[in-house]
Structure 1
Amino acid sequence: MADFFLQALVQVGTPSVLLLILIGVLFGIIGGSIPGFTVTMAILVVFPFTFAMDPVSGVSLMVGVFVGGYSGGIVSGVMLGIPGTPSSITTVYDGYPMAQRGEPGRALGIGVAASFIGTLISVAVLVYFGPLLASFSMNFRPWEITALILFALTLVAGLSHGALLKGLLAAALGLLITTVGYDRNSNLRFDFGFDALGAGFEMLPVMIGIFAFSQLMGNLEKLRDDPQSAKGANTNVAIPYSLILRDMASQKLNTLRSSLIGSLIGALPGTGGTVANFVSYDQAKKFSRHPERFGTGIPDGIVASEASNSAVAGGAFVPTLALGIPGDLPMAIMMGVLILHGITPGPLMFEQNPVLVGAIYASLLIGAVVMVVCQLLLVRWFAKISLIPQQVLVPVVLMLCAIGSYALNNNLFDVWVLFAFGILGYLLWKASVPLTPLILGVVLGENLERQLFRALELDSSWLTFLTRPLSALFLSMAIASVIFSLYQNRKIQRHQDDGAKSRNA
């Protein structure tokens, strides 16, 4: 595989292909930076331009958009507290508080560095172990994927910041939202007499509404209570390179672990950057010596989030190329590019088209280098978003969110969905209900239902989930995750109570 990778690197290294990668990365960063646009939208916009290109050029352009889009989500997440893409949700937890402390340059720099290293590690792993991971992923049937999704859902215990019951209720509400519309057997559910609800809710308007609307309304409340905040505290837009190097030096194990998690989860069919994002953040918190500081603006959380979602960019190609099973919409579009050029992804892809597979990984490697250069050169201009007065920023961002939701299907109903779930998210935020479990339920609900019903159609016995080794392993990890999170929450609460007693004394 390494020999073919070197041959492909020569093909991708031509000036025309390098220019396409540069254009793709820049467009992906811009698309990922705009709340509501997402990497999927960026890929959809670029896809028609690949029709007249040769396979290597077309795939390289798309890979550039892919890499840039995954890293671009950090900009709006850090500066506005709104994830630019679903796979950057956990970046907000520590990136936004760090920016609010007056260190946006540090947060953005850490995120870019972690994204770069995560992509490099994923490429290195997949160049040597891609065929092996492809063979391993073929063992994943509906039972294993269902168990994996259940394991991801149990992460609400570690992401609810002590409000476990509220987190579980929020996750259940997210799953309930995904049941609106037609089921697998074309039975209509919960449409309440509205024809528009027959297709269910699109994830993008729901996510942007819950996160963006509540965050923006919270900013306006803060502005009302503290008019001085309108002047903007984030005036330090310079990139502190020496400090970022020290931060990354202290995060070596976290970066490696998060990158490997992203590569592995990305290589599993039916998963993606969002699942890797939550799993990596949760594991970083569990292995940390100071888990109570997560969510307050520490490098650990940013590194875990950005390294994992960028590593997915490499791993996601494994089920797409080796199995012909795209894990998400961006990979489905990428597979469409290959099919357009007469190349059929499948188990024989690594044997029949090794140079093209190598070209994809070479494009990932070059795209990562281009991404980090572009981000570091332009990120200070993105950081100036923080200097825009909230009275101007809030309506502009809401407008962009509405445009992004409308452009998804050219449907005005999606805009109303955005604002409806925005109001719901704001009310839940006021009631101190964690929003992350709700989004996690929405993101994973449809796939959970599909895989669960597929498993029961193949074998009606529920015991099959326990008799299949990988499925049983994931279910055991789900139970262990809940127990460990309960223990960790009690430990943090005991530490806080002891601190309060010492202060009162």
Structure 2
Amino acid sequence: MSGIVEAILYVLAHIHFLVIGVAGGIIVGAIPGLSGSTGIILMLPFLIYIEPSSALIMMSGLFCGSMFGGSIAAVLISTPGTPSAAATLLDGYPLTQKGQAGKALGVALVASTAGGIISTLCLIFLAPQLAKIALKFGPSEYFALMIFGLTIMASVSSSSLTKGLLSGFFGLLLSMVGLNPSLGTERFTFGITRLLVGFSTMPVLIGLFAISEVLSQVERLNEGTLRRVSSKHKIGEILPRPKELKGLWKVILGSSLLGTIIGIIPATGGSIASYMAYNETKRFSKDPESFGKGNLAGIAAPEAANNATTGGAMIPLITLGIPGDVVTSVMLGALMIIGVQPGPLLFSQSPQIVNNLFVGFLAAQFLMLVLGYFSIRAANLIFKVPLGILYPTILCLCLLGAYSLGNSAYDVLLAMIFGVVGYFMKKYGFSAPSVILGLILGPIAEQELGRALIISYGDWTVLFRSPLSIMFYVFAIFSVIYSLGLFKKKKPAGR
């Protein structure tokens, strides 16, 4: 008990580090192309000069803040600031087009905070026990999980089952470009050296969602069909009303628990958790047809899930020394640089650092609620910018974000190409989220399939021996059946 009291006093005495971390996280998360890992890398030269506990709570604050920050760009300009916010824009941006951006961002903020608090409590009380579950995931379990994730491709398409599947298969095809992860042979590179590493997710994401949206809006502007959000419907009310929250608490709780569990599993992360939470919320909704048109549950679910992965991803990091996602991978390197070795011995050798982390992580969620509120208020300024300046500025930020990934003009070209591709996909009713799902999950599924077959000397039955694998296959079958049923219901309505 005395250790927790000391940790509370320590965090209060060093609260400025947490404020810097959370505020910095919101900023880098809101800028397309940047992420929590980028922010930690930028902070690293400064972190080596402060105490390990202060550095740890600053990185934790940045990690949490960046998850919410991604939703700001997703909701306001249809540009996911981070890959984890890609699912948020599906219902967030339609609300902005209706003049309800404040409500969308308010729900995102509350859901993110709740998801973070729930996952932090799991981190504090269940870390050692939950980390053991992650150790049971071998290649066959990972492959089954990815198969379940890929079945979501159809249901995230709001127009056509066929077009949703075709979009997903296009994403899978893109994921196959580059080197075979098992054999090292080239595939679909056509002699172009740049294609050996395949397509990076972020330039494709920026192109399909952001640049394509700019092109669509400019077209509507030229045609005179674009309706500007009126001055009295800009940000408006931010924090959702109690009545609205009452209808969302089950969604937030369920998505938070799902996000925590997915966060514990290494190599998954917020993007997978947000799409899975979105899909499951849509599946069990009484009005699934309203998703993609501005349903508040479609914002609460992915935001609660992606912020819940922060606490979940920290569990294997501090208990086993295994990073749960990209950000915690960077954090692992940063911790080792400042002299902290995560793992089982951390609890016995440096218990106060662990306590400081727990308290700091929890405090970061409440700070995010306060700083997030003011960041939404500041975002109101975007509606005062003339459209002739706004869209070129967004386009420049998108291209700058693409360039910042690897300081390469190739990423800029890639974003522009997929911007044009995304424009035509939107025009003809194809699903950009399905492409991203295929691109993200395809390489993981292929890699884990290869590992499973190598370990079993080519025995395909290894994929069906584990109870966990079978569970995910059953989930996948139900997901497909649900998607078929959903689109059958839509057909009579469309006739």
TM-score in terms of structure 2 length: 0.95
**Separation in 1, partners of 2:426, 2:143:** 30
How far apart, in 2, do the equivalents of 1:4 and 1:151 lie? 42
| Cα distance in 2 between the residues matched to 1:18 and 1:143 | 44
Secondary structure of the residue aligned to 1:298 is coil
Residue 478 (structure 1) aligns with: 476
Please tell me whether residue 128 in structure 1 is matched to residue 125 in structure 2.
Answer: yes
Determine the structure 1 residue equivalent to 2:405.
408
1:252 corresponds in structure 2 to: 249
Number of the residue aligned with 1:192: 190
1:456–1:344 Cα change, 3 Å: farther
Q: Which letter does structure 2 place at the counterpart of 1:9?
A: I
Residue 340 (structure 2) aligns with:
343
1:33-57 C-alpha deviation (Å, 9 max, x unpaired): 1222233322222223212222111
Task: State yes or no: 1:302 paired with 2:286.
Answer: no
Cα deviation for residue 348 of structure 1 reads: 4.2
* Partner residue in 2 for 1:503: none
Taking the aligned partners of 1:309 and 1:123, their CA distance within structure 2 comes to 13
Partner-residue secondary structure (3-state), 1:90: coil
Distance 1:206 1:351 in 2: 44
The aligned counterpart of 2:488 is 490
Q: CA RMSD in A?
A: 1.9
- Cα deviation digits, residues 211-261 of structure 1 (max 9, x gap): 1111111111221222662x4336434542675332112211111101111
Q: For residue 147 of structure 1, what is the aligned residue in structure 2?
A: 144
Match of 2:15 among 18, 31, 37: 18
Match of 2:219 among 218, 221, 240: 221
State which drifts further: 467-476 or 388-397.
Answer: 388-397
Does the CA contact (< 8 Å) of 1:104 and 1:383 recur in 2?
A: no
CA distance in structure 1 between the aligned counterparts of 2:45 and 2:144, rounded to whole angstroms: 37
1:488 alignment partner AA: L
Asked whether 1:374 is paired with 2:371, we answer yes
Counterpart-to-counterpart distance in 2, 1:7 and 1:151: 44
In structure 2, the CA distance between the partners of 1:484 and 1:5, relative to structure 1 (3 Å rule), is: farther
Corresponding residue SS for 1:61? helix
| Structure 1 residue ranges without an equivalent (≥5) | 501-505
1:9 alignment counterpart: 8
Give 2:31's aligned residue: 34
d(CA) in 2 for partners of 1:190, 1:324: 37
Match of 1:63 among 56, 60, 63: 60
Which of these residues, 255, 266, 278, is aligned with residue 281 of structure 1?
278
1:79 aligns with: 76
**Which of 434, 443, 446 is residue 443 of structure 2 equivalent to?**
446
- Within a 5 Å distance, the mapping from 1:102-141 to structure 2 comes to 102-141=99-138
Q: Distance in 2 between matches of 1:228 and 1:441?
A: 32
Deviations 1:252-296 (A, max 9, x none): 111110111111111111110001101111111111111111111
Partners of 2:251 and 2:281 within 8 A in 1 = yes
C-alpha distance in 1 between matches for 2:251 and 2:358: 24
Alignment match, 1:312: 309
Q: Give 1:470 deviation, angstroms.
A: 0.5
Whether the aligned pair in 2 keeps the contact of 1:101 and 1:233 (CA below 8 Å) is: no
Q: How does 1:260-271 map to 2 (within 5 A)?
A: 260-271=257-268
Letter in 2 for 1:307: A
AA aligned to 1:377 is F
Corresponding letter in the other structure for 1:129: L
* Residue type of the alignment partner of 2:472: F
CA distance in 1 between partners of 2:259 and 2:379 (Å): 26
Work out the CA distance in 2 between the residues paired with 1:260 and 1:32. Answer: 23
- For the 8 Å contact 2:160–2:487, the answer to whether it is kept is no
Q: Structure 1 residues 3, 307: closer, same or farther in 2, change over 3 A?
A: farther
User: 319, 324, 332: which is aligned to 1:322?
Assistant: 319
Counterpart of 1:465 (choices 463, 466, 490) is 463
Aligned partner of residue 83 in structure 1, secondary structure: coil
Deviating more after overlay: 298-307 vs 356-365: 356-365
> Which deviates more, 380-389 or 415-424?
380-389
Instruction: Give, in whole Å, the separation in 2 of the partners of 1:249 and 1:3.
Output: 37
Structure 2 Cα separation of the partners of residues 234 and 259 of structure 1: 35
Letter of the 2:163 counterpart: K
> C-alpha displacement at 1:378, in angstroms?
2.9
2 CA distance for matches of 1:5 and 1:456? 47
- Contact residue 101 and residue 234 of structure 1 kept, 8 A: no
What is the Cα deviation at residue 167 of structure 1? 1.5
Q: Which residue of 2 aligns with 1:204?
A: 202
User: Matches of 1:470 and 1:187 in 2, distance apart?
Assistant: 32
Task: Report if the CA contact (8 A) 1:77-1:83 is conserved.
Answer: yes
Moved more, 287-296 or 29-38: 29-38
Cα displacement (A) at 1:346: 3.1
Match of 1:167 in 2: 164
Task: Determine the C-alpha separation between the residues in 2 that align with 1:320 and 1:351.
Answer: 15
For 1:8, the aligned partner's letter is: A
Q: 1:93 aligns with which of 87, 90, 94?
A: 90
Q: Which of 52, 58, 66 in structure 1 is aligned with 2:49?
A: 52
Query: Match for 1:402: what amino acid?
Result: L
Change (3 A) 1:478 1:123: same
Quick one: distance in 2 between partners of 1:20 and 1:492? 51
Contact 1:119/1:311 (8 A) holds in 2: yes
Shift of 1:115: 0.9
Contact 1:110–1:244 (CA<8 Å) still a contact in 2? no
The corresponding residue for 2:180 is 183
